[in-house]
Amino acid sequence: MSRQRSEYPKEAMWDLEDFFETQDDWESQFTELFNVAKEGWNKLMLFKGKAAVDAKTIKELLTTYFEASRDLEKLYTYAHLRHDENVGEDFFKNSFEKTLALAYQFNQMSSWIEPEILKIDENLFKKYITDPLLQPYKFFLERLYRQKEHVLSDEQEKIISMAARTQRTPRGAFSAFSNVDLQFPKIKNSKGEELQLTQGSYQVLMKSSDRTLRENAFKTLHSSFGSFENTICELISGQVQNHVFTQKVRGYKSCLEASLKPHNIPTDVYLSLIETVRNNLDVLHHYVGVRKKVMGLETLKFWDMSVPLVSKCNMKFSYEEACDIVINSVAPLGDEYQRILKKGIKEDRWVDVYESKGKRTGAYSSGCYDSMPYILMNFQGTLQDVLTLSHEAGHSMNSLLSNRDQVYHEAQYPIFIAEVASTFNEQLTYEYLLEKAETKEEKLYILNQQIDGMRATFFRQAMFAEFELKIHQFAENDIPLTPALLKEEYRKLNLDYFGSNLVIDEEVNWEFLRVPHFYYNFYVYQYATGIAAAVTLVDKVKQTNNKSYLEFLASGGSDYPINILKKAGVDMCSQEAVETLLKTFRSLMEKFEKEIV
């Protein structure tokens, strides 16, 4: 059973007091902003109907809008972090919901801004964006104008913004169900001893040398989700229908285009990723065959896919050791990068470290322009937890450097490149651990984990991306997303991706039910493209220097993601990065096979 949050020292928790000293301070600022909202955001509304007057008016309008947005973001960030400490706690849930309500109200009251700016005559608009007064907003305005055909009238935009609150229901309901309401029974190991299964402990159990324990953990977790398959499939369907609604209302050709086009990412980037992975599944099939052979199993099952193949080595780490490893591993990025990261995770308490009752599962990096980049973890002391810390620290440093070097409205980096910085750090950590390995067994253990990490981050996420594309295409063609259909499609993908050496049991059919990223909007493919870009960039940094990469980290959203990556040395419109990843995976497999035999 998870421990209570109160049982941990404050050093193991993120320092939200640095953000707002007390909950009363947060409530005070919320009340102040709420009172402004009740007056109809009067200051902002004064500009309605006047956006086309001159460049000075547009600048004042945008400045006022982004100042209000920044205040809201600060309130929201604190509320969502407190909420994730215990998603079942009513007090913080209430604060979170109040903040969301205020944000939705702000979006409704400001929904006229983009349509009004886009009503400006094209020639006059081109004149405005060359005006020195509007240079701080030039890219924002150019990006907005590219979406002109998909921006609706004032009233239509207001209606869409009013619907936004209801559209978050599937994601919110799944989070509450998965993190709080769903409880798992105890499971037994090969000795008949009982252990409590939790979402936080699941990944640790799947690496256990006790095959009976792994099987029981796998079957229990997935059958628990499977017993609610009708409910969860309705939630997934609801989320997909949200995307279909946006696609149709805004006139995009597909849900995929609706997700990618605003960031100027060609749909071919997504489609070619799936195609390239499909054309190279032989290497994944070979991996599965090697795992089966090394484990000496007649039948390889899904609960055998995470256990280390080097049984004599079981690396465990304290959180302090994990911090030191991550800090030391990023030495190629320079002294300043190391210094900032060390201070953040060791002194400034960026990280909420351990699993506790009701705490949100998984891990993430979050924050806002006016806060430190906080990290949520559920640390269990495994090598994977070390790599998770490295991953999230990559996100946090990306955020910190972007916030430092960019103005507020250009600081948020595009989602497409979000996973590059995180997986880049992971690759550095793997290389550091391999260099410091003291025995052949340790080296093989780490190499095994690196290969498994690439399998999970690249191949598995590409499979998820293909599944996500399929279910959206079904919905676009009015095909109901029933449990039978989704289970069948998910099973087919697993058969294709993993090949004949892996037996697909019934519980595998339910795996998609527990994946929170299917409630995002075409997010998962970016793990695959992100690690492909990261592996390519690691090689480039080692061959040259870290200057262009550090500039990439500090770029924020000052340009389109494809352009930002190209400046750093990776063209994601070509197959270079994906092919480099595949080449690296094959090379690692060859090294591992040579040593393990």
Q: Which sequence positions are flagged as catalytic?
A: 392
**Number of other CB atoms surrounding residue 199 within 10 Å:** 19
Backbone angles phi, psi at 192, to 5 degrees: 85, 5
**Number of other CB atoms surrounding residue 580 within 10 Å:** 18
Axis crossing angle, helix 90-109 with helix 23-38, rounded to the nearest 10: 30
User: 492-531: string of b/e by CB count within 10 Å (b at 16+)?
Assistant: ebbeebbbebbeeeebbbbbbbbbebbbebbbbbbbbbbb
The string of DSSP letters for 308-331 reads -S-TT------HHHHHHHHHHHTG
Q: Are residues 363 and 376 in contact, defined by beta-carbon separation less than 8 angstroms? A: yes
Helix (H) or strand (E) holding 283: helix 281-295
Q: Are residues 68 and 41 in contact, defined by beta-carbon separation less than 8 angstroms? A: yes
Token look-up 């997986």 returns 423
- Residue positions counted in the chain: 597
Cα distance between residue 576 and residue 579, in whole Å: 5
DSSP character at residue 575: S
Residue 43's identity, in one-letter code, is K
Q: Which residues contact 21 (CB under 8 A, 6 or more apart)?
A: none
* β-pairing verdict for 194-196 and 186-188: antiparallel
Q: Are residues 536 and 583 in contact, defined by beta-carbon separation less than 8 angstroms? A: no
Q: Are residues 267 and 256 in contact, defined by beta-carbon separation less than 8 angstroms? A: yes
| Encoded tokens for 516 | 């929170």
Backbone angles phi, psi at 300, to 5 degrees: -95, 130
Cα distance between residue 557 and residue 266, in whole Å: 18
- Residue 456's Cβ-count burial label (10 Å; 0-12, 13-18, 19+) is middle
* β-pairing verdict for 364-366 and 374-376: antiparallel
DSSP count for the chain of H helices, then E strands: 26, 5
Q: Are residues 254 and 247 in contact, defined by beta-carbon separation less than 8 angstroms? A: yes
- Residue 274's Cβ-count burial label (10 Å; 0-12, 13-18, 19+) is middle
| Encoded tokens for 239 | 């989320």
* β-pairing verdict for 194-196 and 351-352: unpaired
Cα distance between residue 81 and residue 87, in whole Å: 10
